[in-house]
Structure 1
Amino acid sequence: MTRMDSVTEAGDQRRNTSISGRDRLILAVLLTASFTLAVDFSILNVALPVIGAEVGFSLPDLQWIATSFALCAAGFTLLFGRVADIFGRRRLFLAGIALLGISSLVGGLATDPAVLITARVAQGLATAAVTPAALSLLTTSFPEGSLRERALGLNGALMAAGFTTGAILGGVVTDLLSWRWAFFINVAVAVAVLVVAPAVLRENRTEQRPRLDVPGAVTVSAGLLAVVYGLTSAGEHGWTDIRTWASLVAGVVLLLAFVGIERRVTEPLVPVRILRKRSVAWGNGAGVLAFATETSLVFLLTLYLQEVLGFSPLTAGLSFAVLGLGTVLGGIVGPKVIARLGNPPRALAFGMAVQTAATLVLVLLGDSRDWMPLLLVATFVGGVANLVAIVGFMVTATSGLPDHEQGLAAGLATMSQQIGITMGIPVMSAIVGATLASLGAETPTHILTAIRTAIGVNAALCAATAIAVSVFLRTPRPVTAPATGN
């Protein structure tokens, strides 16, 4: 190696491990947007009864305030991830942020159920557009390696912490100000991002503009909408309800049709060869379960804190601050765990294994507030472990692909995240409901038994994920060539 080659290589290594001032601005813009969108998934949950009383929702219709948002956020993510590749990630990011600001303003001013639901649908579409665009801008702004892993670690930490923060912030804002400020906060964030982002984000799109796969886009979006609606219906009406099974069957049929379309069209929305990559297929499957298990655990523990221990919504929300700290710490140490273990899949499996142990301990929870120290310690450890797994998932699912497919990879990863967040709660809710139905009256003792049962299933899903990743994403050891004599 020449001296010039050594200098060049050293310069490349510095660029791959150091963050410049402009890089920090890019991170600030993209992470602020990602965190805000994650908060939106849970910030209104605590406030739903108050919103229903003020705006005029009936009790059965309250869930649509959350469901309408989640359906659009999960159903259109893959489509917008591909649109970002074709028409420009920066352009789609800015358009999505503008839509978020406008829809949040409309939602905050709403006095009619139809207007509020329309605003939540628009917020879901904005989330579906911004999240994959932001993630693909992140992966293309930082070279593959330690710098990208650090950026994805911070992104994963804030995305997971955002869900927990939303539960806390929703209670604080509703009690001290008004539920409308849960919308107005987004307006201020959107304005700030739109002021800074055009100056620091570069446009990044493919030179050639392939035709958008409209049949594929329609079938996959409709299929995902049907599956998510079916899972939501299971949580509300049970697994035996005709709406649940009809929606799930329709979703599976549409997704199978989507696979058939992708095999035939010349410019598919999702090239089948990408799904043949183990890192993409198994990485995204693990990502779904990583998000589903932790977010649904927050739901189960919310029931425990309020229905069993008798905490107020605000106190219950504040109890998750320790979990939020754990997720932030996990996002920071995630890249270090990847470096220590040697590759992202091992970090993913390790994180899910530790999360299994932390979740399993919670099966011991009793009906006394004396169990709070155990809950706080276990949720903190589980939060750290979950974020290590999420960072491993993000790096696994977006590595080894060219820049022109990063929007698609980001769309798949984001779709996994959105589906995980959306499906976890109705599945665990259905388990709680079925257990209570078998026990009879909804006494605190029976509710505790139902929650323990669901927590046990949650831990089993964590363990299954860790085992599947260890088996199917095993990295072969490098083969050392035998020494040869001269």
Structure 2
Amino acid sequence: MTDAATDAPRTTDRTGFDRRLLPPMLLGSVLNPVNSSIISVALVPIGRALGAPSSQTVWLVSALYLATSLGQPVVGRLIDLSGPRRLFLLSTGLVGVAGVVGTLAPNLGVLIAARVLLGFGTCAGYPASMALLRGEAKRTGRDSPGGVLTALSVANQTIAVIGPLLGGLLIAVGGWRATFALNVPLAAVAVLLGLLRLPKQAATGGSSESGSVSSRLDLPGMGLFAAMLVSLLLFLMNLHPRDWYLALLAAVAGAAFAVRELRAATPFIDLRVLGGNTPLLVTYGRALVAYVVAYAFLYGFSQWTEEGHGLTPFHAGLVQMPMFLTAIGVSIVSGRRRGVRGKLLTGAAGQIAACLVMLTLTGTSPLWLLVLVALVFGVPQGLNNLALQNSVYFQADPERIASSAGLLRTFAYLGSMVASSATAASFGQRADTGGMHRLAWIMLGAGVLSLLLTVFDRALGRTDAPEGPAAA
């Protein structure tokens, strides 16, 4: 790995990790969660301003995750081949463009388009961070410190804390459009940090020469993957018998994708390697069901606190703060302990417990009970994110770490699509208490499945081995 754009000597910690990489890594990785968390309290004001019911404004959530689900593994593969710098700069620049479009959007359609741009724009941050971690491990001859992985998790949790509260403040001061305008300065700072700090070349797999990269890109595979994913996600976002053809299209595109990848000399997703890596596949499945619960709570519960319980967007953001504060504390404490299984078991149990409490809530429930639900959800929020991130770091092929990290996010966003579909089906025109209870039952089922996937996964013991990430 070559040095950063400047000629200044490296600033390293005692493990040899280049600490100058941390600011762009952290800011790039939080661009997606800041937009995810802010929109959770902006859905109701946007719906009121544009005359759209909750069954339509949920597309503001789905559009971002649809774009990100598709873009993460694609951008991750490009990063594996050519390094993170160029993709990081292009993507974060697109975040600024999306902020302008969203701020000036005249209707819901344009606003959804802005969220699509945001989805593609936030694709590079997390895969780039994982690629930089692997690059530093290769340069120093040592695994990157667990404290860096924990820092990424805590940064995401911190932004999630700030997001709903900041969204409420922005809406109170400048209306919901201010929540989109925020992306312009964030993108500008991210691009500046990328220019100053990121290495000019840091590929983790193959040459970064343009000819070599283009020859190693599996464009047909990427196209079939996109067709499969878009069809599947559109089907999940609006489950209805009349849309059966979308499920059929997803199945046909998936079969064609599998045939292509098994025959390609340089496949987009190496199904032979992935198929032989059962622990990683189980991790992806566990991420999907865990995030069904997490995103259904983030968006569904937030909408209910505003429409079903009568809170303002600002107070709805305050109710969510205990969850994220708890998640930060749990991440910091658990991040300094080796082992993944215990985190995942506790996380699944916490989701189940919180869903059971949700089933007792009504529109007249005391505020402290809403805060209690948020506190309980904070435990799995902190544990699951860190455990899944650590699992992929050690289970994935090092030469494909960025695309593997992108696939983790893709499966997480598949979970968000299921959550969005479940939220829209449960609420309909209004987020009432009956709809919240229906959603809680769906979340409870996903939480139980997550627990079972962990209990019967014997491969997690290898991730708990002494060579796993520890604090640094």
Task: Give the TM interval when normalised to the shorter protein.
Answer: 0.7 to 0.9
Q: 1:476 to 1:42 in 2, by over 3 A?
A: closer
Match of 1:416 in 2: 411
Provide the C-alpha distance between the structure 2 equivalents of 1:37 and 1:330, rounded to a whole number of angstroms.
21
Q: Which runs of 5+ in 2 are unaligned?
A: 1-10, 465-472
Provide the C-alpha distance between the structure 2 equivalents of 1:214 and 1:99, rounded to a whole number of angstroms.
22
Matched ranges for 1:29-428 at <5 A: 29-48=24-43, 50-51=45-46, 62-111=57-106, 115-141=110-136, 147-160=144-157, 162-163=159-160, 165-202=162-199, 203-205=201-203, 206-208=205-207, 209=212, 210-234=215-239, 239-240=240-241, 242-243=242-243, 245-272=244-271, 273-337=273-337, 339=338, 343-370=339-366, 372-428=367-423
Kept after mapping to 2: 8 A contact 1:74/1:422: no
Kept after mapping to 2: 8 A contact 1:330/1:384: yes
Match of 1:11 in 2: none
Match of 2:440 in 1: 455
Q: 1:375 to 1:225 in 2, by over 3 A?
A: same
SS at match of 2:256: helix
Q: 1:41 to 1:248 in 2, by over 3 A?
A: farther
Q: 1:373 to 1:69 in 2, by over 3 A?
A: same
SS at match of 1:266: coil
Displacement after TM superposition at 1:20 (Å) = 6.8
Provide the C-alpha distance between the structure 1 equivalents of 2:326 and 2:289, rounded to a whole number of angstroms.
19
Kept after mapping to 1: 8 A contact 2:28/2:124: no
Alpha-carbon displacement from aligned partner over 1:207-250 (angstroms, at most 9, x marks no partner):
4335211121011112111222222223xxxx44x13x332332
Displacement after TM superposition at 1:161 (Å) = 5.0
TM-score after normalising by structure 2: 0.83
Alpha-carbon displacement from aligned partner over 1:308-361 (angstroms, at most 9, x marks no partner):
322223222221111121222232123234x2xxx3244223322233223323
Kept after mapping to 2: 8 A contact 1:45/1:167: yes
Provide the C-alpha distance between the structure 2 equivalents of 1:402 and 1:16, rounded to a whole number of angstroms.
26
Kept after mapping to 2: 8 A contact 1:42/1:163: yes
Displacement after TM superposition at 1:188 (Å) = 1.0
Kept after mapping to 2: 8 A contact 1:349/1:467: no
Displacement after TM superposition at 1:259 (Å) = 1.8
Q: 1:265 to 1:383 in 2, by over 3 A?
A: same
Provide the C-alpha distance between the structure 1 equivalents of 2:93 and 2:340, rounded to a whole number of angstroms.
34
Kept after mapping to 1: 8 A contact 2:29/2:152: yes
Match of 1:482 in 2: none
SS at match of 1:381: helix
Provide the C-alpha distance between the structure 2 equivalents of 1:418 and 1:165, rounded to a whole number of angstroms.
21
Q: 1:311 to 1:113 in 2, by over 3 A?
A: closer
| Structure (1 or 2) with the larger CA radius of gyration | 1
Q: Which runs of 5+ in 1 are unaligned?
A: 1-14, 437-441, 479-486
Question: In percent, how many aligned pairs have the same letter?
Answer: 23
Q: Give the RMSD, CA atoms, in angstroms.
A: 3.1
Letter in 2 for 1:347: K
Provide the C-alpha distance between the structure 2 equivalents of 1:362 and 1:49, rounded to a whole number of angstroms.
21
Alpha-carbon displacement from aligned partner over 1:436-482 (angstroms, at most 9, x marks no partner):
9xxxxx8x9xx43442232133123112212212212445699xxxx
Q: 1:291 to 1:113 in 2, by over 3 A?
A: closer
Kept after mapping to 1: 8 A contact 2:350/2:379: no
Displacement after TM superposition at 1:151 (Å) = 2.3
Kept after mapping to 1: 8 A contact 2:25/2:125: no
Matched ranges for 1:9-20 at <5 A: 18=14
Provide the C-alpha distance between the structure 2 equivalents of 1:101 and 1:306, rounded to a whole number of angstroms.
29
Q: 1:291 to 1:116 in 2, by over 3 A?
A: same
Letter in 2 for 1:218: G
Letter in 2 for 1:454: L
Alpha-carbon displacement from aligned partner over 1:368-426 (angstroms, at most 9, x marks no partner):
232x3233223223212232122111111221445321112111112122222333122
Provide the C-alpha distance between the structure 1 equivalents of 2:357 and 2:135, rounded to a whole number of angstroms.
40
Kept after mapping to 2: 8 A contact 1:327/1:386: yes
Kept after mapping to 2: 8 A contact 1:41/1:70: no
Letter in 2 for 1:214: L
Letter in 2 for 1:166: G
Displacement after TM superposition at 1:19 (Å) = 6.4
Matched ranges for 1:463-474 at <5 A: 463-474=448-459
SS at match of 2:304: helix
Match of 1:10 in 2: none
Matched length:
441
Letter in 2 for 1:36: L
Kept after mapping to 1: 8 A contact 2:25/2:128: no
Provide the C-alpha distance between the structure 1 equivalents of 2:350 and 2:134, rounded to a whole number of angstroms.
27
Displacement after TM superposition at 1:22 (Å) = 4.1
SS at match of 1:321: helix
SS at match of 1:268: coil
